[in-house]
Structure 1
Amino acid sequence: MHALLNAIATMALPTDAQRIFHGRGGLYPGCEQWSLDAYPPVLVLTSFEPCSDEVLATIHSALAARWQDLAPGQALNWVYQCRTEGQLSETRLMAGEVPEPHVVLEAGARYQVHVLKGQNHGLFLDMAEGRRWVREFVQERRALKPELKVLNLFAYTCAFSVAALQAGAHKVVNMDMSAGALGIGRQNHRLNELPTGTDAGASFLAHDIFNSWGKITRGGPYELIILDPPSYQKGSFVATKDYARLMRRLPDLLASGGHAMLCLNTPKLDTAFLKDQMQELAPELQFVERVANPAVFADVSAERSLKVLIYKTPG
């Protein structure tokens, strides 16, 4: 636990949502179970193995001491979540309080999060560089394509849409099976004073993607398509069999010179899983680059970590 305690003792005062310690990357032997995230003004400690109250007390003392240095007189707010494989997660408020609504910043954008319920808190911190890439892509392309359209599949709470519209996209189509997640997505757009509508701004479609290709096709072609599915969600999406169903649609949905962002977050599948299938199913699309993950998410093997690959059509 020494590396975690050292990260706490040396952390800066967080202003944006970010990861502070990433034991899951395997670079800190003995700390593989731990991650520490900041969703200001709340810190969230996650353990992927059960831990004792004595260990939590030690971590609390470290957090309290550092917080006194960083923010004298301000309350320490922190949440503990235990995720043990095969068991329901446990979430506890350990000190202070969580604001309601809880809104955090990232790169100037505002997002609503929920750290006291569920395992996904509303904003995936490891995808920060993916959102940065989307911003830069849209900023560069909008001069050539003022009515630039983006298709955001498996949109969740629509953080990619916020990034794209802030960068100047004309239209973003967000699609996800979860109406609840899209509801938070709408709120994220309101928080950032972004337009919503059928002709411009963001639209939100609570549909099964695999049953909605007609609607998706009519909205295209798209200058950017973002695919960020779960790696395994029973009854919804299993990457090993369902990713191919997405890939083969890309050539018909992308505009000339359009780009696709393919995301995959599981240690069980590597970049070759995506590249080999793309070569077979959409060979006309050219591989451009792999987007680097935030430095704090460094892993002993890049193939275990989040994979974000960019492809483009000719033109």
Structure 2
Amino acid sequence: MQALLDAIAAMSLPSEASRIFHGRGGMHPGCEQWVLDAYPPVFVLTSFAPVTDDQLAAIGAALQVRWAHIATPEAPLCWVFQQRGEALRIEGRSETRLMAGEVPDRHVVTEAGANFRVHVLRGQNHGLFLDMAAGRRWVSRHAEARRDDRYGLKVLNLFAYTCAFSVVALQAGARQVVNVDMSHGAIAIGQQNHQLNHLTAGATFLPHDIFSSWGKITRSGPYGLVIIDPPSYQKGSFVATKDYARLMRRLPDLLVPGGHALLCLNAPELGEDFLHAQMRELAPELAFVERVANPAVFADVDEQRALKVLVYRAPELPVSA
């Protein structure tokens, strides 16, 4: 646990949503169970293994000492502890406790100039996936580079969740984003995120099952950018090993000539070769461009276990003789 305590002792006052400590990457032996995130003004400590009251007391004391050094005297320390399912011995379960302070009723955080609603006291997904920060930055830069294209950039955002990709794409100059997610609740928060960022046009929200909505998705295309960021495993909804292929074979028809696809996979048991092999089989005309590097704080002893964000490109139209 010492590496976690050292990270707390060295941290600056966080102004944006960010990860403070990433034990899950295995870079800190003995601390693999711990993750500490900042969703200002709240810290969220997560453990993937059983903890003792003494451990929590030591972490709380370290947070309090550091907070006294970096925050204004009138600002109270606020932190939340979440025990994940592996420690509870029940798959998919978590328990969350408010340890100190108060969580804002309307909790809004920022990242790179964008605002997002979050909810740190319920569920395992807090409304903004911090490990995808580099992916959002790539989308923002891509949209900015195509701001002046003749017809503008049209984006398809599959498994949109709370539509963070859509927000950054529109902020950077995308003409249109079609957001699709089967969760009505997540899409509703996504609409709020657009309102928070004063984005009143350009976004479409489809609270549908992607696999039964291809007709509507296809009619809105083709797209200059298709983003696929599915859960690695969601019972009854998506299983990467069998369902990712159903998405890949659609890509050639969804993309404009020269269009890009951003494929995301957060399954530790599946390396990037899983995506490459399926793309070679199902959409061989798309060329691999790059793997987007994860934020440095998410370093992993095995990058194949970490989040994979891969960019592919469709062929351009042939040049007439």
TM range (shorter): over 0.9
Q: Scaled by the length of structure 2, what TM-score is found?
A: 0.96
Check whether the contact 1:258–1:312 (CA below 8 A) recurs between aligned residues: yes
- The amino acid that maps onto 1:21 is F
Letter in 2 for 1:287: F
How far apart are the structure 2 equivalents of 1:263 and 1:287? 13
Aligned to 1:163: 168
2:244 corresponds to which letter in structure 1? Y
Shift of 1:84: 3.0
Distance 1:118 1:187, change over 3 A: same
Cα deviation, residue 289, structure 1: 0.1
Partner of 1:278: 279
Q: Does structure 1 residue 52 correspond to structure 2 residue 57?
A: no
| Other-structure match for 1:259 | 260
1:39 corresponds to 2:44: no
Tell me the number of residue pairs that the alignment of Structure 1 and Structure 2 aligns. 311
Give CA-to-partner distance per residue, 1:78-118, whole Å, 9 cap, x none.
00000032422110000000001000000000000000000
Corresponding residue number in structure 2 for 1:234: 235
Deviation at 1:314, TM superposition (A): 1.1
Correspondences of 1:287-306 after superposition (within 5 Å):
287-306=288-307
Identity of aligned residues (%): 70
Q: Tell me if structure 1 keeps the 8 A contact 2:146–2:152.
A: no
Q: Which amino acid aligns with 2:141?
A: E
Q: 1:189 aligns with which of 166, 188, 194?
A: 194
Any residues of structure 2 matched to 1:75-224 within 5 Å, and which?
75-85=76-86, 86-87=89-90, 88-196=93-201, 201-224=202-225
1:14 aligned residue:
14
Structure 1: 4+ residue segments shifted above 3 A: none
**C-alpha separation in 2, matches of 1:195 and 1:272:** 40
* Deviation string, structure 1 residues 144-177 (Cα, Å, up to 9, x no partner): 2443100000000000000100001111000000
Kindly provide the amino acid, as one letter, of the partner of residue 209 in structure 2.
Answer: D
State how far apart, in whole Å, the 2-side matches of 1:28 and 1:293 are. 18
Deviation of the 1:305 alpha carbon: 0.2
Per-residue Cα deviation, 1:27-78 (whole angstroms, up to 9, x for no partner): 1011000000000000000000110111100000000000000013110000
Instruction: Please state whether the residue corresponding to 2:303 is helix, strand or coil.
Output: coil
Partner residue, 1:314: 315
Q: State the Cα distance separating 1:14 from its structure 2 match.
A: 0.3
Q: CA separation in 2, counterparts of 1:280 and 1:71?
A: 54
Computed over aligned residues only, the root mean square deviation of the Cα atoms, in angstroms, reads: 0.7
| Secondary structure of residue in 1 paired with 2:142 | helix
Q: For 2:242 and 2:278, locate their aligned partners in 1 and report how far apart those are by CA, in whole Å.
A: 11
TM superposition shift of 1:143: 1.5
> TM-score, normalising length from structure 1?
0.98
Assess if the C-alpha contact under 8 Å between 1:50 and 1:84 holds in 2: no
Contact 2:25 2:32 in 1 (8 A): yes
- CA shift digits 1:223-254 (9 cap, x unpaired): 00000000100000000000000000000010
| 8 Å contact kept, 1:262–1:310 | yes
1:213 and 1:8 map into 2 onto residues whose CA distance is 47
Greater Cα offset, 77-86 or 232-241: 77-86
**Unaligned segments of structure 1, at least 5 residues:** none
Question: Offset of 1:266 from its aligned partner?
Answer: 1.1
Give the direction of change, closer, same or farther, for the CA distance of 1:238–1:64 in structure 2 (3 Å limit). Answer: same
* SS of structure 2 residue aligned to 1:152: strand
Contact 1:148 1:222 in 2 (8 A): yes
Cα distance in 2 for residues equivalent to 1:59 and 1:146 = 53
Give the secondary-structure state (helix, strand or coil) at the position aligned to 1:289: strand
Cα offset, 1:142, TM superposition: 2.1
**Aligned counterparts of 1:160 and 1:92: Cα–Cα separation in 2:** 30
> Where does residue 319 of structure 2 map in the other structure?
none
How many angstroms apart in 2 are the aligned matches of 1:72 and 1:161? 35
CA contact (8 A) 1:261 1:308 kept: yes
Distance 2:150 2:274 in 1: 32
Counterpart CA distance in 1 for 2:218 and 2:151 is: 20
